[in-house]
Amino acid sequence: MAEKIALVGIGKIARDQHIPAIHGAKEWELAAVVSRSTALDGVDTYPTIEALLAARPDISTLSLAMPPRPRFDVAVKALNAGRHVMLEKPPAHSLAACLQLQRLATEKGVGLFASWHSRFAWCVPAARAWLEDKTLVSLRIAWNEDVRRWHPGQHWIFEPGGMGVFDPGINAVSIMTEILPDPVHVKEATLLFPKNRQAPIAATVAFHHGGGADVRADFDWRQEGPQQWTIDVETTDGHLCLTDGGSKMYVDGTLVDDGLNEEYPRLYRRLSELVTAGRSDMDLSPLVHVVDAFALGGRVLVEPFHF
Amino acid sequence: MAEKIALVGIGKIARDQHIPAIHGAKEWELAAVVSRSTALDGVDTYPTIEALLAARPDISTLSLAMPPRPRFDVAVKALNAGRHVMLEKPPAHSLAACLQLQRLATEKGVGLFASWHSRFAWCVPAARAWLEDKTLVSLRIAWNEDVRRWHPGQHWIFEPGGMGVFDPGINAVSIMTEILPDPVHVKEATLLFPKNRQAPIAATVAFHHGGGADVRADFDWRQEGPQQWTIDVETTDGHLCLTDGGSKMYVDGTLVDDGLNEEYPRLYRRLSELVTAGRSDMDLSPLVHVVDAFALGGRVLVEPFHF
């Protein structure tokens, strides 16, 4: 029988990804949504998290698809009410807030899932398996997209805490940390801030790798024309390339795996496994690398950016 | 009988603090130092960590008083060689590097101590005990000192990763996280960067507190005249004030505790307890708050700074 779930926050990502994924999952029944302004046909809508928690003790699991800042207080209330919680990425606006949620979930004995949707891209498991026994020579992330196309008019993304180009960049980092068998840490970074903005529009990050491999990431939001979400990995036994955000995988130039974009359906399947097993999955390493890049990064001012 | 310890890095902090503290401790015998350039009278000196580890299996514990960047590789070598390790603050230049060291120490079954010397200021235990059963109304850190006086000509401290005013500021944060019974996380921050520098010369940080208390920190390196290292705490049952970096404590205006600066002797006593018990102490919360402030902070350019 399907488990009841409620979705909190009915913005673009919820409509584009979460709702279709839940509706398509045999494991889940969308039993309610929380939204102050929007109703969803055929689903009970509550104006606040408090109203939902009071009225619906039958709903064991909440998926929080709202922005990270208001999400923290909602997550605290849900965990305190003994519900399992899934968090959109990034799990909170600060690392310390993530750690607080983690401790609270442990205290309450409920499941907490920090979801990184890009890890559920089609070829990520195959890439991880291929790399497992290889010796790394270099890894290069190239995550270059047009911010005007993907975030039109979203000024908040350039405000303090908006993360700037690390908002998509953290997706690449979440794949890298999933497929690399070895730990890395930020060695140095350069962050390009438009003169009129408070978050970087581009960044380069160099990572320390224990085996001496050259691990680097380039993130750029000024990419016009073809968009690029690529991770290139050179090993002593061949070359792996993930393109299209992880949905295509090449080994030594040959396409070996290619799948549909089913990130969110897979992510909700994982949530079901966690809830059934009574476990949490709160890997914070993508966020750790991003905050490290902010703390260690040199800053360069570049020309003002206007949408 | 005293346990043998080696000190790696013989800079200013080692001569001012570590060497006198070790010489004064009945728990420790300074058996060797590692330094490429400096010898220490009456103590075996090795030019490299590798030379020390190869020659001295009798030394169980290493204290690393060198700067954070080179410290990581040295710590990895020491932990891999099965030695207990104490790290000066901050434990590494990035949070991910700290987490790698923590995992390695667990794997190797050796003790790792991320030391925060300010937590060993005289009145910190009394402040912690006093606050334990109080309800917080507000906490205000004022950590204002003259960088020309305390870091004359140290250009690296303004370079990327040098942390700027958070180098002393993290000491205040380490006290706050030790004495506050409740968790907090950075809500917003403003970082003041001199136009010619890559690290902030001043910062204000506002923290989220679950009980709604007003928790803030002001760090400023442009303080001339009297220096200030104060933490003021208002509760529903009175007012606590720590001054002089935690060596004086006032309750409702009355001096209730006042002690010598014995931070490093206390710190080495703690190291001895950890090593004897086979335990680690790797609380990363001060560094978490600092990297969060960098990631969330708005940036303001201020006038160029020259030593």
pLDDT at A67 (0 to 100): 84
Cβ distance A297 to B96 less than 8 Å, yes or no, reads: no
pLDDT of residue B275: 95
Q: For B178-217, how does the pLDDT look when each residue is reduced to its tens digit (9 = 90+)? A: 999 999 999 999 999 999 999 999 999 999 999 999 999 9
What is the Cα–Cα distance from B101 to B73, expressed in whole angstroms? Answer: 10
Q: Where are the domains of chain A?
A: 3-114, 121-259+291-302
Query: Which member of B183, B193, B296 has the closest CB to residue A160?
Result: B296
Tell whether the model's pLDDT for residue B1 goes beyond 80.
no
Helix axes B95-108, B285-296, angle to 10 degrees: 150
pLDDT value of residue B130 = 98
Q: Give me the interface pTM, i.e. the ipTM.
A: 0.95
Query: B290 pLDDT exceeds 80?
Result: yes
Q: So what's the architecture of B121-259+291-302 in CATH?
A: 2-Layer Sandwich (3.30)
Please give the single-letter amino acid code of residue A100. Q
- Spacing of C-alpha B104 from chain mean position: 21
Look at A95 and B161 and tell me if their CB atoms are within 8 Å. no
Range with lowest mean pLDDT among B60-69, B81-90, B94-103: B60-69
Name the region of A210 (left: φ>0; alpha: ψ -120 to 50; beta: rest).
alpha
* Residues 262-301 (A) with a CB less than 8 A from some CB of B: 285, 288-292, 294-299
List chain B residues with CB under 8 Å of A289: 96
Q: What share of chain A is helix, strand, coil (3-state, %, to 5)?
A: 35, 30, 35
- CA nearest B300 in A: which residue? A198
Tell how far CA B37 is from the center of its chain. 26
Closest Cβ opposite residue B185 in set A96, A183, A193: A96
Q: How far is B187 from chain A (nearest CA, A)?
A: 8
Q: Say yes or no for a CB contact (<8 Å) between B289 and A96.
A: yes
- Is A99 within 8 Å of chain B by CB? yes
The residue that leads in pLDDT, A82 or B13, is A82
pLDDT, mean of residues B17-38: 95
Interface residue A260 vs chain B (CB under 8 A): no
Q: What is the pLDDT of residues B127-169, one digit of tens each?
A: 999 999 999 999 999 999 999 999 998 999 999 989 999 999 9
A138 touches A207 (CB < 8 A):
no
C-beta atoms surrounding A158 within 10 Å = 24
Residues of chain A contacting residue B298, judged by C-beta atoms under 8 Å apart = 159-160, 198
CA atoms within a 13 Å half-sphere pointing along the CA-CB vector of A49: 23
Which has more pLDDT, B2 or A68? B2
| Whether the predicted pLDDT of B293 surpasses 90 | yes
Does the structure show a pLDDT above 90 at B41? Answer: no
- The residue behind tokens 């208002």 is B234
B104 has a chain A CB within 8 A of its CB: no
Predicted confidence at residue A219, as pLDDT, reads 98
Which residues sit opposite B4 in a β-bridge? B29
Distance of CA B197 to the CA centre of its chain: 23
Q: Are B64 and B87 in contact (CB under 8 A)?
A: yes
Segment-wise mean pLDDT, segments of 10 residues, chain A, 307 residues: 94 92 96 90 94 98 91 97 97 96 97 97 97 98 97 92 96 98 96 97 97 97 97 98 97 93 94 95 98 97 97
* Per-residue pLDDT reduced to its tens digit, A156-211: 999 998 999 999 999 999 999 999 999 999 999 999 999 999 999 999 999 999 99
| CATH numeric code, A3-114 | 3.40.50.720
The answer to whether the Cβ–Cβ distance between B298 and A160 falls below 8 Å is yes
Round to whole Å and give the CA distance between B121 and B198: 31
Quick check: is B195 catalytic?
Answer: no
pLDDT bracket for residue B234 (50, 70, 90)? very high
For residue B194, give the chain A residue with the closest CA: A299
Which pLDDT does position B214 carry in this prediction?
98
Check CB contact under 8 Å for A100 and B185.
Answer: yes
